[in-house]
Amino acid sequence: MLENKVVVITGGTRGIGFEVAKLFKKNKAEVIIFGSKEETVSKAIEKLNAMNLNVSGYYPNLKDYSLVEKTIKDIIRKYGHIDILINNAGITSSKKIEDTTIEEFNNIMDINVNAMFYMIKAIVPYMKENNGGAILNTSSMVSIYGQPIGVGYPTSKFAVNGLTKSLARELAPYNIRVNAVAPGIINTDMVANLPKEVIEPLVKTIPLGRIGKPIDIANAFLFLASDNASYISGEILSVDGLARS
């Protein structure tokens, strides 16, 4: 489905991003994963190589636009174009507002929103030159319903939805589609670290009766990245087992 496409995936070393990298590579894309550290990127590449899924990787500080821009230029020099961007890097918090420091809140916004903007800003000029592309952002079910504790994460994901819908309008004339996937409760490290009092009440609201798997989200990304979704832009696709707050 993605033959000859060059794909950049932030947060691609584990969880949803790693599953997306696997699935996209199986669909013949040229996959480049971004991670926060050289060690984690190297380990992820080793795991994928062991599956005969050869990818490359980088570890720029996504909070530094100059480093993001430099890395994107390096990728363009190597591959010639970037067709698909998956903005998946993100962090969360489950602290009460009185326990959340200004620095912690700002860091969530820096990673979940500002870094996403930096990636898009750096890549869009090349997508325009290449007559189009697809930008896919990881949102969350909490961007629609909020959550009972940890205000920074849902705040950032509300911003992701606004960025997605606005850029879909702005970039449509250039044949650049912008969509987001809003996962529900997915069996990842991030969810495993949340307290039971946050997770258990949410699971009870899911009519399908289970926590989602990373492949459930990867399949949604694959659809939106492919030509099967060529007439879809500005959508926030919920993949949550019909979860409700």
Supply the residues annotated as catalytic. 153
Q: 3-state class of 5 per DSSP?
A: coil
CA 245 – CA 158 distance, rounded (Å) = 15
- Beginning with the edge strand found earlier in the chain, give each strand of the sheet holding 30-34 in spatial order: 56-58, 30-34, 6-10, 84-87, 133-138, 176-183, 236-239
Torsion-angle region of residue 86: left (phi > 0), alpha (psi -120 to 50) or beta?
A: beta
3-state SS assignment for residue 80:
coil
Identity at 52, one-letter amino acid code:
N
Asked if 206 and 240 count as a contact pair (C-beta separation under 8 A), the reply is yes
Other Cβ atoms less than 10 A from the Cβ of 1: the count is 15
DSSP 8-state assignment for residue 233: -
Give which of 237, 222, 234, 120 is closest to 177, Cα–Cα: 234
What does the angle CA 47 – CA 227 – CA 2 come to, to the nearest 5 degrees?
A: 25
Q: How many CB atoms lie within 10 A of CB 96?
A: 11
**What CA–CA distance (Å, rounded) separates 116 from 96?**
25
